[in-house]
């Protein structure tokens, strides 16, 4: 095992399932101690932690509602008590809901922006505060929808465009102590709201004629953590989807 990430402490938000789970497992395989954040999916988070511990590695589950500052502060207070340090953050927690632009309600807007953008901003802020002495790195999970708008997901697209700008602003503001980058997945995992038929049609429409996988996104996160001369960049992992 290369020494790059061994014994580093990483917080992965939204690590109970989907992309966050895969990222947490892969970082554990690289030797990291993983803080597995979840909101309500306690059983899924416990399964992620168990999978990591079965590999002889360390993980702790922490529940928090990242839509509120009190929830975010509770998360980081638990990390301070339980681990005492933080080297890396992966801002993975997000909501993806289809909604018509003309029919979107204030509740639709708030639910998505509060988690996808506000939550990412304040988790990044709190993590960076803890990285000032020893340095660190942050990877935001963006989305190709933040670069190429999805009309069925307008609020999500707007939130992820915000994450793109957050990545660049934070990279400037936090250098040289903390590096900040993003990974923008394309068709890496079918949204729960999408039919299998629609998913396969989308996969066939990209230049590489196939969907990606959660492992592709985890590989990109690890790449950005290991390469210490990269900051303020977005690694797009979409099979060329944004080109068409």
Name the one residue in this structure whose structure tokens are 């949204």.
Answer: 191
What torsion do the CA atoms of 182, 9, 17, 29 make, to the nearest 10 degrees? 100
Please pick, among 38, 88, 153, 241, the residue that the annotation labels catalytic.
Answer: 153
Task: Please confirm, yes or no, whether 8 is among the known catalytic residues.
Answer: no
How many helices (H) and strands (E) would you count in the chain? 8, 7
Rounded to 5 degrees, φ, ψ at 33 are -90, 125
E-strand ranges in the chain read: 9-12, 33-38, 59-63, 88-91, 136-141, 178-185, 234-237
Widest pairwise Cα distance in the chain: 52
- Measured distance CA(108)–CA(155) in Å, rounded: 8
Number of Cβ within a 10 Å radius of residue 197: 8
CA separation, residue 67 to residues 84, 113, 133, 205 (Å): 24, 9, 28, 35
Task: Please confirm, yes or no, whether 160 is among the known catalytic residues.
Answer: yes
Please pick, among 8, 38, 160, 241, the residue that the annotation labels catalytic.
Answer: 160
Catalytic residues: 153, 160
């Amino acid at each position: 095992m290369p020494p790059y990430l061994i014994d580093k402490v990483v917080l992965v938000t939204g690590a109970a399932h989907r992309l966050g789970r895969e990222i947490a497992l892969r970082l554990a395989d690289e030797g990291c101690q993983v803080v597995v954040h979840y909101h309500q999916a306690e059983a899924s988070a416990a399964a992620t932690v168990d999978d990591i511990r079965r590999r002889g590695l360390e993980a702790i589950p922490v529940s928090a509602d990242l839509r509120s500052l009190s929830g975010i502060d509770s998360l980081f207070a638990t990390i301070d008590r339980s681990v005492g340090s933080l080297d890396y953050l992966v801002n993975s927690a997000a909501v993806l809901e289809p909604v018509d632009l003309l029919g979107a309600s204030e509740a639709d807007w708030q639910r998505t922006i509060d988690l996808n953008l506000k939550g990412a901003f304040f988790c990044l802020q709190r993590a960076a505060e803890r990285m000032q002495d020893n340095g660190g790195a942050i990877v935001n999970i963006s989305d190709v929808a933040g670069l190429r708008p999805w009309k069925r997901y307008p609020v999500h697209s707007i939130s992820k465009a915000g994450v793109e700008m957050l990545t660049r602003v934070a990279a400037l503001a936090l250098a040289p102590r903390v590096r900040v980058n993003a990974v923008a997945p394309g068709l890496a995992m079918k949204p729960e709201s999408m039919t299998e038929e629609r998913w396969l049609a989308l996969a066939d429409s990209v230049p590489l004629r196939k969907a990606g996988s959660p492992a592709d996104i985890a590989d990109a996160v690890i790449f950005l953590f290991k390469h210490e001369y990269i900051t303020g960049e977005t690694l797009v992992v979409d099979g060329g989807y944004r080109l068409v």
